[in-house]
């Protein structure tokens, strides 16, 4: 997907509106607990500063649902961004109101300002035309660098692009390169790891990957739907009874395509959903009633690790167990450790798998960790993302 970037448009001295993804986690004291999304936006912001642009940043935070709610203010982001840039980031008191218009008119070249939470505006998530035009009236160029919201057709992600020259920032360029170009022409063997709760959440991804990969490794709660479809008891494990035929179809498709489709051979089970529940490891064919599967077992870890050691391209989306609880994070952590030492292009498709790799302190060992959970999933499925489609094509 060849989209124009900020390097392919004349920006010098212009007012530039940049859609960022500053939807960061914070604690009860409103202290940011993970600033990765802010850090990820820095290369684009710094490039615009160096080109003497008047930089106007915008983002959402949380779900204020069209109402002004102080707990969702971007003041904490402005403070952190000021610290990271080493210069003041001006925070407007509204989104597209009088205060914003006044502050934009007073911007000097190299200045950086941040609009208040775009979701304080009721029209944002409706892709309201009037709001989109107001966003566009603030600037001369629109830059989208928020891959995490690229699958949403909102005023600040797609609507505004109808009224201004629209290009991508460096973060979206990077995402498109790794999730698009690299996976379209992967070095082989190409292995995909899919985890998470439901087969239904990953149908599109599995179907798409079966056209590309050499091996597909399945983990997480979705594995139990496959086990049940094969006629085995899964106890109290999460299982989509209405997706058993689909599970069989996917396994048959893999066979027809010559894709190695690997399911766990053992599973760590618990008596109840709690961090310190009684647990044990059993074969996947021997899950007793009253027990629930929460992780892959040691034999599966070894089998999957052996498969990954020869891989040259790996994409991973979704944890392999209930990694929030230490005793059921063993599989996910073991696979992360294995991959850290594999010489391959290694791409993490955002969301919980990205959090797991970060938690294990192994992020630096991966080629690319996507900043978009839902967006990366839809992109891997082959869906068109509105926030990307709205950008100008690069005809060069």
Could you tell me if residue 235 is left (phi over 0), alpha (psi between -120 and 50 degrees) or otherwise beta?
Answer: left
Q: 66, 180, 235, 374: which is the annotated catalytic residue?
A: 374
Query: Tokens 């044990």 correspond to what residue?
Result: 280
Active-site residue, 12 included = no
SS3 313: strand
Question: Using an 8 Å Cβ cutoff, are 190 and 214 in contact?
Answer: yes
Active-site residue, 351 included = yes
Could you tell me if residue 26 is left (phi over 0), alpha (psi between -120 and 50 degrees) or otherwise beta?
Answer: beta
Q: 3, 14, 37, 197: which is the annotated catalytic residue?
A: 37
Q: 69, 126, 198, 260: which is the annotated catalytic residue?
A: 198
Q: Which helix (H) or strand (E) holds 36?
A: helix 36-50
Indicate the pairing of strand 15-19 with strand 141-144: parallel
Q: 220, 297, 349, 351: which is the annotated catalytic residue?
A: 351
- Long-range contacts of 221-224, Cβ-Cβ distance < 8 Å, separation of 24 or more: 221/196, 221/197, 221/293, 222/194, 222/195, 222/196, 222/197, 222/198, 222/318, 223/263, 223/264, 223/267, 223/284, 223/293, 223/296, 224/287, 224/293
Active-site residue, 198 included = yes
**DSSP-assigned states of every residue in 338-365:** HHHTS-SEEEE-SHHHHHHHHHTT-GGG
Side-chain-side CA neighbours of residue 383 (13 Å)? 17
Question: Using an 8 Å Cβ cutoff, are 143 and 164 in contact?
Answer: no
Active-site residue, 270 included = no
> CB count, 10 Å around CB of 82?
16
Residues with catalytic function: 37, 198, 351, 374
């Amino acid at each position: 997907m060849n989209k124009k970037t900020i390097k392919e448009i004349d920006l010098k001295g212009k007012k530039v509106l940049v859609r960022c993804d500053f939807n960061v986690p914070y604690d009860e004291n409103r202290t940011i607990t993970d600033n990765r999304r802010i850090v990820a936006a820095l290369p684009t912001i710094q490039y615009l500063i160096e080109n003497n642009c008047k930089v106007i940043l915008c983002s959402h935070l949380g779900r204020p649902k069209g109402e002004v709610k102080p707990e969702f203010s971007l003041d904490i982001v402005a403070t952190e961004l000021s610290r990271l840039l080493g210069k003041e980031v001006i925070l407007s008191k509204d989104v597209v109101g009088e205060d914003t218009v006044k502050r934009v008119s007073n911007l000097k070249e190299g200045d950086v300002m941040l609009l208040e939470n775009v979701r304080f505006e009721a029209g944002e998530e409706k892709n309201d035309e009037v709001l989109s035009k107001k966003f566009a009236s603030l600037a001369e160029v629109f830059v989208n660098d928020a891959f995490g919201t690229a699958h949403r057709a909102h005023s600040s992600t797609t609507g505004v692009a109808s009224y201004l020259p629209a290009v991508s920032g460096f973060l979206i360029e990077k995402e498109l390169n790794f999730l698009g170009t690299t996976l379209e022409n992967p070095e082989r063997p190409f292995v995909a790891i899919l985890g998470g709760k439901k087969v239904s959440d990953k149908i599109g991804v599995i179907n798409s990957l079966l056209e590309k990969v050499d091996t597909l490794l399945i983990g997480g709660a979705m594995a139990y739907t496959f086990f049940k479809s094969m006629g085995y008891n899964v106890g109290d494990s999460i299982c989509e009874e209405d997706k058993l035929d689909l599970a069989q179809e996917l396994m048959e498709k893999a066979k027809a395509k010559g894709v190695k489709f690997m399911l766990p051979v053992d599973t760590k089970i618990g008596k109840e959903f709690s961090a310190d529940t009684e647990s044990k490891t059993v074969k996947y064919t021997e899950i007793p009633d009253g027990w629930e599967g929460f992780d892959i077992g040691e034999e599966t870890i070894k089998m999957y690790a052996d498969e990954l050691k020869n891989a040259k391209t790996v994409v991973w989306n979704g944890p392999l167990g209930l990694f929030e609880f230490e005793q059921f994070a063993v599989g996910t952590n073991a696979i992360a450790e294995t991959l850290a030492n594999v010489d391959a292009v290694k791409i993490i498709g955002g969301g919980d798998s990205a959090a797991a790799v970060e938690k294990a302190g192994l992020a630096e060992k991966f080629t690319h960790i996507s900043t978009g959970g839902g967006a990366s999933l839809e992109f891997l499925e082959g869906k068109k993302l509105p926030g990307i489609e709205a950008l100008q094509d690069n005809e060069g």
